[in-house]
Amino acid sequence: MSEKIGNSTNYRNVHYEADAEYTIHIAKTLLKLIGIWPRRDTFLDNVKMYIQTTIVFSLMCFLLVPHVIYTYFDCENLTKYMKVIAAQIFSLLAVIKFWTVIFNRKEIRFCLDQIEIQYRDVKCEEDRLVMTNCAKIGRFFTMMYLSLSYTGALPYHIILPLISERIVKADNTTQIPLPYLSDYIFFTVENSPIYEITFVLQIFISSIILSTNCGIYSLIASITMHCCGLFEVTSRRIETLHKWNKCDLHDRVVDIVQYHLEAIGYSALIGKSLSIVFLSEMVGCTIIICFLEFGVIMEWEDHKTLSTLTYFVLMTSIFVNVFIISFIGDRLKQESERIGETSYFLPWYDFPVDVAKNINTIMLRTRLPSCLSGANILEISLQAFCDVSAHTHYFKYIDRKLFEQRKDYCRFVKLQQLISIFCEQ
């Protein structure tokens, strides 16, 4: 037995708490602010969670309900309606994720606790490095999505209202439109200082919604990439199996099987807890991309450079979001399958018959790889990302047709006006 493997039996990871904190730090920071970070199941923590979630959900309803009322009952401009519906779907996704995490908080809490335990129980430094590298990848994906999301969302909620067409009030004065055009039934928003308070409050609530989406996305990236690390560690242990003495092989195979089952169970728990989130993310983001493409086309036609750039950045952030989730799901499936490939290339002729049969059982299990799915309707993989791209291209074609019809209609209206002027003369 090699010296490295011999020393690994006495290895102890003294940095396991820091490693676990590094893995989940961003998600923990964002989700704690809105009260849905899974806490310990104590009376005080439950009371604190109920108070925070009640306040946050009430604020979300304060923003979304009047906005939906205005959109579907008062909005007469079809172009403006198609622009704002993307924001409504994005906010609806945040509400779905918000309650999904609350309802599945015990399962998610278990996943988070297991991260610290699995870092603590690593057998050698090489296993720890494999897991921390996966954590770095998840953190990189999170930072990329956060950068794109906040770069697009903040101008959308702050700058676009400032450069948009002013609203004419009943006394013929004008004012800046709200970030979310809304119809508040129980009070009038137009008068100062209610208007200023509502304006700031809408920006604040939209930041909460954005933090909800980003925090849950960070949670998905963190725990899924950690699960990929578990499968990679299993593959690494299989690769080094032939370095052990024959008398230790049986114990090593038992250890590998137990670790493999732990990774499979962890993956299944992620899929069970967040399947609704995966489904809503793939379907909702596909629709959002289509409406944002429409916004890009409309703003480009009106020669509004800043608005066009804002819609484009938002569209890019959503597109990157779908790609990263699909990539993570595909990576999980590949790492699960790679265990079978690694087992196949072992030097079978050096192993006892019973050990070889046990390894063959591992190979058979990998024929059903672990994967993420959206409510068992669609599989989260790069193939799903390609399907999303195909659908967005189809809707882009529809957007272009609508855009051409709009131009033809505008030309027709101008022609009618010219004819009317000519006839009057």
What is the predicted pLDDT for the residue at 78?
63
pLDDT value, residue 328: 92
Residue 404, pLDDT score: 53
Q: What is the pLDDT of residue 158?
A: 80
Report which of 164, 187, 202 is spatially closest to residue 77, judged by C-alpha positions: 164
Q: Where are the domains of the chain?
A: 15-403
What's the confidence (pLDDT) of residue 418? Answer: 45
Question: Taking a C-beta distance cutoff of 8 angstroms, is the pair 325, 219 a contact?
Answer: no
Closest CA to 75 of 199, 180, 170: 180
pTM of the predicted structure, to 2 decimals: 0.84
DSSP-assigned states of every residue in 288-331: HHHHHHHHHHHHHHTT-HHHHHHHHHHHHHHHHHHHHHHHHHHH
**Non-local CB neighbours of 184 within 8 Å, separated by 6+ positions:** 66, 198
- Report, as ranges of residue numbers, the positions in the chain whose pLDDT lies below 70: 1-9, 75-80, 172, 384, 387-425
HEC readout, 108-126: HHHHHHHHHHHHHCCCCHH
How many residues belong to the chain? 425
H-assigned helices in 345-367: 353-365
Q: Which residue has the tokens 């672990």?
A: 370
The backbone torsions φ and ψ at residue 12, rounded to the nearest 5 degrees and listed phi first, read -140, 125
- For residue 267, what pLDDT is reported? 93
Residue 388, amino acid: V
